[in-house]
Every structure is written in C-alpha cells, then in structure tokens.
C-alpha cells in the first residue's frame, strides 16, 4: 500500500528564515510526485511535479527535490504570503490516482 | 495552468435531501476526473474516479449508491450526495489531469463546502 508521510506537521518561521519540508514515500513504481499548496477553504494549487530521482524544480522562493525515498520542498527567504498548508502526493500506475500526505502547515511571521 | 471549476462553492441542506456538485474543466478536455473529500484538519482522501462514458470506480469504503457520479461529457462530472446526513458534511474537491504524453499533473477545483443540518 502506498504511504506518504510529511514532516513536520506544522512549522513557524520568521520572515526570511529559510527551511525545508519533508515528504517520505513508499510506493512501488512511482509515476510522479506532486507538491501542492492549499490555502484555508480552497482547493490545492499545483506547484511541482517530479518524476525521477535527482530531479529538481524551482519557482520563485520554492525549490523541490526528489530522491528514491523522499522529496524536499525548500523555502528560501519566505514571506508571510507563503503561509499555507503544503501537500505532497504520489501517483502510481496508469489510473493516475493520487495518494496524499497529511500536509505541513507553514506559518511565516512578519 | 489548467482551470477546473466547481459549483456550488457552498451548500447547506437538510438531512435526507440530495445535493449535486458539478466539476468542470474550463480549458481542456478530461476523460477522467477524480473526486476527493477532506475533513477539517485532514488531508484529501480519494473517493472515486469518474470516467467519461463509463461507470465510475469507487475507493474501498465509499458507498456508490450514496455518492452518485456521472461523467456526462469531456468537461463535466457531477457528484450527487443522496439522502445526505450530518456525517456527510465535508469539503468536496474534484481534480482533472489535462493529459498529454508524459504528464500526470492534476489540477484541482476550488472545492465545495457541504453542510448537512
């Protein structure tokens, strides 16, 4: 059974204080790993898709990396508007169904 | 990115009534759409896969007679919660992959907050 574990559950940072969020996964035949951002009361907003170990993708202050067992979402010099819940999900098989982790709730204080 | 819409965004109903939620892909066609449920402070749980022109497939533990799914066209899937009860109150979110070779990225709708009194 696919398992996705995210840590920490919650993270409070000062504005400008860089950090990383972790997503550990167990899945046979990974088809893709996805990062989403979710604001309260809204649907997840797509950030990144990673397909193979060693792959990295960047968008503004965010950088996602992937190994064979985990993925990291690095946040450089965060701003208060980066506060949200960050979700990691894995996709396996041709059905393209996603299994989500429980998320990391990030709060960036001004 | 691709745009997925949902309607309504919020609905309040009495126990025993049925509620229909629409999910539309606005700028792409989707032969497959997915329906998720999210309880407060929890992550998304896949309920069912909606397939255009064929029956939906449901995850274990999801009652197919209670959560009716119809994928009538390449841009529209509907989820009907039949005989809703307070325990069905939740945040319902749909997603769709625009498709294309080498991409499985799913885009999510804004969600529908269902409250059953």
CB contact A40 to B (< 8 Å): no
Mean pLDDT for the stretch of residues B93-98? 91
- The answer on pLDDT for B105 being more than 90 is no
Mean pLDDT for the stretch of residues A5-25? 97
Name which of B2-16, B35-49, B50-64, B99-113 the model is least confident about.
Answer: B99-113
Q: How many Cβ contacts (< 8 angstroms) between chains A and B?
A: 57
Q: CB A41 to CB B49 under 8 A?
A: no
d(CA A106, CA A14): 11
- The answer on pLDDT for B90 being more than 60 is yes
Which residues of chain B are within 8 Å of residue A49 when distances are taken between CB atoms?
103-105
d(CA A71, CA B15): 43
Vertex B112: Cα angle to A32 and B98 (nearest 5)? 35
Q: Is B5 exposed, middle or buried (0-12, 13-18, 19+ CB in 10 A)?
A: middle
d(CA B40, CA B31): 30
pLDDT of residue B103: 62
- Averaged confidence pLDDT in chain B: 92
Mean pLDDT for the stretch of residues A54-82? 97
Q: In what order do the strands lie in the sheet with A19-26?
A: A3-7, A19-26, A70-75, A62-66, A56-59
- The answer on pLDDT for B100 being more than 80 is no
pLDDT level of residue B101 (50, 70, 90 thresholds): very low
- The answer on pLDDT for A33 being more than 90 is yes
CB contact B26 to A (< 8 Å): no
**Which residues 40-59 on chain B approach chain A with CB closer than 8 angstroms?**
42-46, 49
Residue B41, SS3 per DSSP? coil
CB contact B111 to A (< 8 Å): yes
Check: CB of residue B36 under 8 Å from CB of residue B107. no
CB contact B12 to A (< 8 Å): no
For A2, B30, B56, B97, B99, the CA distances from A94, given in Å and listed in that order, are 15, 15, 16, 12, 12
B interface mutation test: which of A55, A93, A98 has the most B CBs within 10 A?
A98
More confident residue, A96 or B89: B89
- The answer on pLDDT for A107 being more than 60 is yes
Which residues of chain B are within 8 Å of residue A45 when distances are taken between CB atoms?
108
How crowded is residue A98: how many other Cβ atoms within 10 Å of its Cβ? 28
pLDDT of residue B107: 92
d(CA B4, CA B96): 7
Closest by Cβ to A43, choosing from B45, B97, B109: B109
- The answer on pLDDT for B102 being more than 50 is no
Which residues of chain A are within 8 Å of residue B61 when distances are taken between CB atoms?
none
């Amino acid at each position: 059974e696919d398992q996705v574990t995210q840590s920490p559950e919650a993270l409070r940072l000062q504005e400008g204080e860089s950090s990383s969020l972790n997503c550990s996964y167990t899945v046979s035949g990974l088809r893709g790993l996805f990062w989403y951002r979710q604001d309260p009361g809204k649907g997840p907003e797509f950030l990144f898709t990673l397909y193979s170990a060693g792959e990295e993708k960047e968008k503004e202050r965010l950088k996602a990396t992937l190994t064979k067992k985990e993925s990291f979402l690095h946040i450089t010099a965060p701003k208060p508007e980066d506060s949200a819940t960050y979700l990691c999900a894995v996709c396996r098989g041709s059905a393209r169904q996603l299994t989500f982790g429980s998320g990391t709730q990030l709060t960036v204080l001004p | 990115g691709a745009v997925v819409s949902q309607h309504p965004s919020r609905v309040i109903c009495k126990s025993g009534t049925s509620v229909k939620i629409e999910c539309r892909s606005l700028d792409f066609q989707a032969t497959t759409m997915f329906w998720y449920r999210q309880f407060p402070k929890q992550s998304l749980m896949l309920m069912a896969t909606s397939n255009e022109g064929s029956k939906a497939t449901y995850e274990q533990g999801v009652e197919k007679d209670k959560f009716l799914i119809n994928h009538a066209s390449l841009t529209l899937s509907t989820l009907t919660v039949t005989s809703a009860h307070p325990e069905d109150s939740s945040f319902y979110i749909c997603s769709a992959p625009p498709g294309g070779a080498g991409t499985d990225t799913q885009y999510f709708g804004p969600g529908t907050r269902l409250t059953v009194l």
